Structure 1
Amino acid sequence: MGLSWWSRHWNGCEAITLSEADSESENEKLARNVNELLGELRVAQAGVQILFGFLLSVVFTGTFRDASGFEKSLHISAVLLTSVATALLTAPAAWHRVLFRGGRRWDILRAGNRSVLAGLACLAAAVTVTVALIAKVVFGIVAMVVLGPLVGVLFLVVWFIVPTRMLRHQPADG
């Protein structure tokens, strides 16, 4: 089950067929792409909101008061990364609301794509730091050193390396 299997099956799940895409005007294509971007954001935002809620509630527990300075530093790092991820992942929706009537869809799409990628990177980092913190509290420093980077590598591979390789190996007409 190599890269070619993933490419064949992921490419087969496109929401619009090639013949439909060929008949779209440039404006229709742009509108569809912006709507797809905003739809993707809904999925990512749910994950950010859940993580953010968890991280915010932790500080009000009795055990947090007993946490070491290092553990509190990990926690605030995760909170800050989640805050940045929230800002980056919600920005395209705000930009769409402000700019769409001005015919700026291309700007929304281009900047939104960059914002989403940066937001996903921050979310991956926030989850990684959160797992490292939990591993440290529950099992100790060795678990933190093993599990934190392991989760970080998982996100890096699944969210960024696999799709980049799929894009590189995509046929020119696909």
Structure 2
Amino acid sequence: MREAVQMAEWGRDETVEERADRKWGDLLQELRVAQTGVQILFGFLLAVVFQQRFADLGDTDRAIYVTTVVLGAATTGALVGPVSFHRVLAGQRLKPQTVVWASRLTVIGLVLLLCTVASSLLLVLRVALHSTLAPWLVAGVVCWFIGCWFVLPALARRLHHDPPEDE
């Protein structure tokens, strides 16, 4: 007899392994979107140092650039990490645990991506505007991202979460 996860209230009747497989598939789809964005951003960041105008950057802007590149590399590591996790643990009957750890790495990757985008935006706006307005614009964008990526999902979860009776 199958060991089923009792989730009738949630519309699912699946084993722990079936649930892990479903969640893994969902996570892979999410990672494809995030990885594509970070790869494009990171590629552009790597090319900046080879542009003729890079030599004109002041010390502060160079520090922001270096920070941004390091953040981009860390983001790439976190968002590719779940693939490595899966590959290293494949066949070990650890899919549910793999999903948990991969999900954690993905959230870390999203936070790092937010930092990378903010840092990139700060550098670009400092160069483009030569104004103290740049940090304020970045702060506004960061608030927007936090709202879209974290606050709205948390709010939806809170408003629509209907836990099973035994929780």
- TM bucket, shorter chain: 0.7 to 0.9
> Does residue 78 in structure 1 map to residue 68 in structure 2?
yes
Q: Return 5+ residue gaps in structure 1 as ranges.
A: 1-17
Partner of 1:162: 152
CA-atom RMSD, angstroms? 1.8
> Does residue 90 in structure 1 map to residue 67 in structure 2?
no
> Which whole-Å CA distance do the structure 2 matches of 1:68 and 1:77 have between them?
14
Partner of 1:55: 45
TM-score, normalised relative to structure 1: 0.84
> Does residue 22 in structure 1 map to residue 12 in structure 2?
yes
Aligned counterpart for 2:92 among listed residues 90, 102, 111: 102
> Does residue 138 in structure 1 map to residue 128 in structure 2?
yes
Report the 3-state secondary structure (helix = DSSP H, G, I; strand = E; otherwise coil) of the residue aligned with 2:99.
helix
Sequence identity, in percent?
31
TM-score, normalised relative to structure 2: 0.88
Q: Post-superposition shift, 1:153? A: 1.0
Matching of residues 113-124 of structure 1 within 5 Å: 113-124=103-114
Partner of 1:6: none
- Per-residue CA deviations over 1:37-58 (Å, capped at 9, x if unaligned) read 1221111000100110111000
> Which whole-Å CA distance do the structure 2 matches of 1:90 and 1:112 have between them?
9
Indicate if the aligned counterparts of 2:31 and 2:79 stay in contact, CA closer than 8 A: yes
- Per-residue CA deviations over 1:53-102 (Å, capped at 9, x if unaligned) read 11100000111011001001111111111111100001011111111210
> Which whole-Å CA distance do the structure 1 matches of 2:133 and 2:54 have between them?
19
> Comparing 89-98 with 139-148, which one deviates more in the overlay?
139-148
> Does residue 37 in structure 1 map to residue 27 in structure 2?
yes
Which structure features the higher share of helix residues? 1
Number of aligned pairs? 157
Indicate if the aligned counterparts of 1:136 and 1:144 stay in contact, CA closer than 8 A: yes
Q: Return 5+ residue gaps in structure 2 as ranges.
A: 1-7
> Which whole-Å CA distance do the structure 2 matches of 1:55 and 1:26 have between them?
42
Indicate if the aligned counterparts of 1:34 and 1:109 stay in contact, CA closer than 8 A: yes
Partner of 1:5: none
